[in-house]
Structure 1
Amino acid sequence: MLNTLSGRFLILTVGFVMLAEVMIFIPSVARFQQDYLLSRLERAQIASLALLADDMISPELEVELLENAEVYNVVLVRDEARQLALSSPIPGPIAETYDLRDPTALDLIGGALTTLTSTGENVIRVIGRPVREGGQLIEVTMPSAPLRAAMVDYGLRILLLSAVISVVTAFLLFLAVRRFLVRPIRGVVDAMQSYAAAPEDARRIIEPSAGVLELRTAETALQTMQTQLTSALRQKERLAQLGGAVAKISHDLRNVLTTAQLFADRIEASSDPGVTRMAPKLVGSISRAISICESTLAFGKAEEPPPQLTRVMLADLVADVLDGERLAAGEAEISFAEDVPTGMSLRADPEQLYRVLGNLVRNARQAMAGRTEGGEIGVSADETEADWIIRVTDTGPGLPERARQHLFQPFQAASKRGTGLGLTIAQDLVRGHGGELSLVYTGPEGTCFEMRLPKTIVRLDAAE
């Protein structure tokens, strides 16, 4: 609280108001002393009128008059004659004299300080002019203790009032500062922190809204800086993505065209009537290569397009993938098995799903290519109420330790023949569907990857 801008402003306000009150405290007390002494002169003058009306008053009445006036004696100067109007025994010598006929400000302040700093029961003399032209001069002697007590009481009340005014003023200023300064500044800070969390998100760029000119200027400057930085980050990210995309596309394009080349070689070398059956597969492989090239051109202009979701017959897609990999396996002792329910369809982009399955099956085939005992690669599928689940398993040697540590990281190939992009591409495409690709197990008994694709559009939107 105290280390905040509003808290420190509160403390400074209280301090400055109290300082101002202290600066006017002494003049106020001096003025109070003057009014107090003048009131005693008036009382003494009124008491002396009784003596003027009747020269013979009883001692008891004279004492009562002096007590009411709170003085020891009264001296009047009338018609150039000095007269002791009322008198009583004085307990001590006169310590100070206060002349109130034409006092200066310094005289009043000095007299007030003298009274406040004096101690004991002193006797003071006060000289002034009678009211209503009741004479040329009036002089009284009186005790200083009641005057000092009244001045102290008045001073304490002034200080208390000053403290209350200081607190109220400071609190009002505190609220004003929080409303007009602290809140806009906090808004700027929150906007900066929000933008720092995701500088590529243009929605987080601050919108100037402060009413204070200086803060609005700062918000405008921050908005300009954030806009320029976001543009620069987008351009930099786009270049980085384009470089990564070129590597991914090169990897997939090489594999797709390799499959197409194998089909073409088979067609050229054989007069088998099966050529009629393989020709559509050749066309399909070449079409996928063209589609990848078109996607590369589109990526260079804008973001990679999201998956075009349609209903896909999974069994047909898996059969196409496995047919291509059987040809690629050649003479290797590798068998392929599929366990996909007949008629099972899912919502996905057929080209992207083909690339994911192709990468997973190809990685498994390459892992078992050098083994004399061969092995089996299987693709199975089932579904729950929330997801479609596709598993790709093999009976290969399992992933090496280095591949496990850098799973799904680009350019971290498990073998020297690969580029280390297959799993990275597969994971990106699955995430684009709002799904998840994970390694279930790997070891001497084989490896299993599992792909989960959501059935709900809500999860896909959240992923995007």
Structure 2
Amino acid sequence: MIKSLSGRFLLLTIIFVMLAEVLIFVPSIARFREDYLLARLERAQIASLATLENDMISVETEEELLRNAGIYNVVLRRDQVRRLALSTTIPSPIHETFDLRGPSAWVLIGDALHRFVDPEPRVIRIIGNPVNDAGTLIEVTLGTASLRDAMVSYGLNILRLSLLISVVTAGLLFVAVQWGLVRPINNFVSAMKDYQSAPEDARKVIKPTASITELREAEEALATLEEQLTHLLKQKDRLAQLGGAVSKISHDLRNILTSAQLFTDRIEMSEDPTVARLAPKLVNSITRAVNLCEATLAFGRAEEAAPSLNRFALADVVGDVIASEQLAVGDFALDLVDDTPAGMMIRADAEQLYRVVGNLVRNARQAIVATGKPAQIMICADETPNEWTIRIKDTGPGLPPKAQENLFKAFEGNARKGGTGLGLIISLELIRGHGGDLSLEASGPEGTCFLIQLPKSDLTLAAAAE
């Protein structure tokens, strides 16, 4: 029980209540001692009144008066005269004198604690003011045994009362904490365990119900986290299913494309000028498709193969991309512009770069065709001592805000209905495999621009491979 929240709260409550009672007890015992001594002074003053009228009282009467007052002698000062009113034998020398005429609270507390812990019987002198102005001073001597006994009895009563208050208070707080705090926390933990059993089930997501502000905030934060996790798990399942489907499709598509390769070999022997001009591009496209299918079947996972670096003219790859896209454009008023330097040589994997540029141009073309308005797509390039840069710019409608926020997230970064957003993810992975980067440079009503950065340093490529 001590390890539970309610058990520890119960223990701490008892400790704190007892501590509060100690803080109350110390001044209380000091006040009790002061009242006890003042009562002895008052009794002594009453007992001494008999001597003021008749100095000749018997010894037996005097002893009885002193015994009833609980003192050994009484000294009164009246009219500047100090007079021993009552007296009997003192069993031991006076140990200490206490003046009750306006002492400070700290003095009273210190004297009370000293008397409370000292069990040795003593004889003490008490000085105070007579009541009702019956003189200027009164002194009495008395033993401390009865005083300490009374203080101990008072302290035990305080202790019993403190224990009772502690137990009752702790019990009430225990019930209150159990009902108002522990139970909501247990419900919170139960909801977490319930979700843990089936995180893919959206019905298991916690529903905030706590009335405590802090716990309510924790439930809302957990609900958001669980919703995001469930969403990611569903995406993971979709990607796994998609991967399996792609592998199956790639297997059959590779066989179909292999047959198509055999037909293109015959087409290349045609003497028709148009066929002779288009045949090499057709062969290249089919070869790329076959290689892609084989790579998908060979790896069977999300990671792309490491790039095979060779030096080649960028214009050749860009030209193939534009030629392929022009066939898809047809009669639509879309201008594809190749603005890459004719003699610019870069070092990269030509097939992977073709896929990246092709994905970006294809996305731009699909977005523009969906608007039905004429536009332009331009591919331009530049180089610095450290890197090559390629920009794919268009004058289309721009990316929606949601697509920009989730640009490189599967099934979320798609800019058109029915898209998956996988093209950008694949392109980013391919470029990073080169040690470079792919980013959205600008997007708005005036168009969109993607930036490809390829490093010239082999060190960057080695770091990307690791």
Q: Where do 5+ consecutive residues of structure 1 fail to align?
A: 251-464
Matched, 1:193 2:185: no
RMSD value over aligned CA atoms? 2.4
Conservation of the 8 A alpha-carbon contact between 2:122 and 2:144: yes
Residue number in structure 1 paired with 2:139: 139
The separation in 1 between residues aligned to 2:76 and 2:68, in whole angstroms, is 18
Residue number in structure 1 paired with 2:99: 99
Cα offsets for 1:254-287 (capped at 9, x unmatched): xxxxxxxxxxxxxxxxxxxxxxxxxxxxxxxxxx
The separation in 2 between residues aligned to 1:119 and 1:247, in whole angstroms, is 95
The separation in 2 between residues aligned to 1:32 and 1:45, in whole angstroms, is 20
Shift of residue 26, structure 1, vs aligned partner = 2.3
Matched, 1:26 2:36: no
The one-letter amino acid of 1:234's match is: K
Cα offsets for 1:18-62 (capped at 9, x unmatched): 222223322221111101000111111111112223333222222
Shift of residue 242, structure 1, vs aligned partner = 6.2
Matched, 1:202 2:194: no
The separation in 2 between residues aligned to 1:181 and 1:94, in whole angstroms, is 61
Residue number in structure 2 paired with 1:126: 126
Residue number in structure 2 paired with 1:217: 217
The one-letter amino acid of 1:90's match is: I
Among all aligned residue pairs of Structure 1 and Structure 2, give the percentage whose two residues are the same amino acid: 64
Listed as ranges, the matches of 1:32-47 within 5 Å are 32-47=32-47
Residue number in structure 2 paired with 1:156: 156
Residue number in structure 2 paired with 1:169: 169
Residue number in structure 1 paired with 2:116: 116
Conservation of the 8 A alpha-carbon contact between 2:205 and 2:227: yes
Shift of residue 206, structure 1, vs aligned partner = 0.9
Q: Where do 5+ consecutive residues of structure 2 fail to align?
A: 251-466
Residue number in structure 1 paired with 2:11: 11
Matched, 1:75 2:70: no
Conservation of the 8 A alpha-carbon contact between 2:119 and 2:148: no
Conservation of the 8 A alpha-carbon contact between 2:72 and 2:90: yes
Cα offsets for 1:68-111 (capped at 9, x unmatched): 10001111111111111111111110011111011111221221
The separation in 2 between residues aligned to 1:236 and 1:119, in whole angstroms, is 80
Cα offsets for 1:120-179 (capped at 9, x unmatched): 331111110011111111110001100011111111222222222222222222222222
The separation in 1 between residues aligned to 2:10 and 2:118, in whole angstroms, is 37
The separation in 2 between residues aligned to 1:151 and 1:163, in whole angstroms, is 18
Listed as ranges, the matches of 1:285-304 within 5 Å are none
The separation in 1 between residues aligned to 2:147 and 2:153, in whole angstroms, is 10
The separation in 1 between residues aligned to 2:198 and 2:214, in whole angstroms, is 27
The separation in 2 between residues aligned to 1:82 and 1:70, in whole angstroms, is 22
Listed as ranges, the matches of 1:238-277 within 5 Å are 238-240=238-240
The separation in 1 between residues aligned to 2:176 and 2:100, in whole angstroms, is 46
The one-letter amino acid of 1:112's match is: A
Q: Which moved more, 1:175-184 or 1:214-223?
A: 175-184
Listed as ranges, the matches of 1:407-418 within 5 Å are none
Shift of residue 220, structure 1, vs aligned partner = 0.3
Q: Secondary structure of 1:199's match?
A: coil
Q: Secondary structure of 2:95's match?
A: strand
Residue number in structure 2 paired with 1:64: 64
The separation in 2 between residues aligned to 1:168 and 1:248, in whole angstroms, is 73
The separation in 1 between residues aligned to 2:73 and 2:102, in whole angstroms, is 22
Superposition TM-score, scaled by structure 1 size:
0.51
The separation in 1 between residues aligned to 2:12 and 2:118, in whole angstroms, is 34
Q: Which moved more, 1:35-44 or 1:52-61?
A: 52-61
Q: Secondary structure of 2:234's match?
A: helix
Shift of residue 248, structure 1, vs aligned partner = 11
The separation in 1 between residues aligned to 2:111 and 2:154, in whole angstroms, is 16
The one-letter amino acid of 2:45's match is: Q
